[in-house]
């Protein structure tokens, strides 16, 4: 894909279908973890693909995964800033998340609960790096960070996570 605008048609629709198949589950898991609401996450993923399709001519190459993730993360942030979002109870049982999340109990469950209790910026980078297995280059592109800023944020997120795990502090 290039930076040229696409004409609507079979090729553009085929590309949209491919994006949905290749990246839909990953985006759904990421958005569910960020928003803590599976239904709202599905809405955000749908809006991500609508916006990507509408603005496909703006894609300048590089990683489609990072580009689509950036759109999704920005839409999640928009949702988190809305007044309605702040008034609704966002707690979701781990079993309902669309990520390969662990069961509630045990060490893996504690780790996931600790990740979910991190501030948004740190939770995003941990989820993208370790739960979605994105490269730091793609994460930096998705979050609009320089690679060095991405590495520093990931390091800080790890430190916070380590402290939370040592203290057993898994609540926000």
pLDDT tens, 119-143? Answer: 989 999 999 998 888 999 999 988 9
162 found inside a domain = yes
pLDDT at residue 26 is higher than 50: yes
pLDDT of residue 86: 53
Residue 61: the pLDDT is 75
Residue 5 lies in a domain: no
Assigned token pair, 77: 């942030």
Domain that holds residue 142: 10-167
Residue 10 has a pLDDT of 80
Contact present, 116 and 29 (Cβ < 8 Å): no
Angle between helices 64-81 and 38-54 (to 10 degrees): 130
- Segment 33-61 mean pLDDT: 88
Percentage of residues in the chain with pLDDT exceeding 90?
45
Domain CATH for 48 = 1.20.140.160
Residue 1 lies in a domain: no
What is the count of structural domains for the chain?
Answer: 1
CA atoms within 13 A on the CB side of 21: 6
């Amino acid at each position: 894909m290039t930076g040229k605008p696409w004409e609507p048609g079979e090729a553009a629709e085929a590309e949209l279908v491919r994006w949905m198949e290749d990246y839909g589950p990953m985006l759904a898991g990421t958005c569910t973890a960020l928003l803590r609401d599976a239904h709202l996450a599905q809405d955000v993923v749908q809006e991500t693909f609508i916006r990507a399709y509408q603005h496909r001519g703006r894609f300048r190459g590089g990683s489609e995964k990072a580009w689509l993730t950036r759109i999704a993360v920005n839409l999640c942030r928009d949702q988190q800033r809305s007044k309605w979002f702040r008034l609704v109870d966002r707690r979701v049982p781990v079993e309902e998340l669309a990520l390969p999340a662990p069961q509630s109990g045990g060490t893996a469950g504690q780790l996931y609960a600790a990740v979910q209790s991190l501030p948004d910026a740190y939770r995003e980078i941990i989820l993208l790096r370790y739960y979605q297995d994105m490269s730091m280059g793609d994460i930096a592109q998705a979050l609009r960070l320089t690679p060095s800023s991405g590495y520093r944020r990931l390091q800080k997120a790890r430190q916070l996570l380590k402290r939370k795990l040592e203290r057993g502090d898994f609540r926000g």
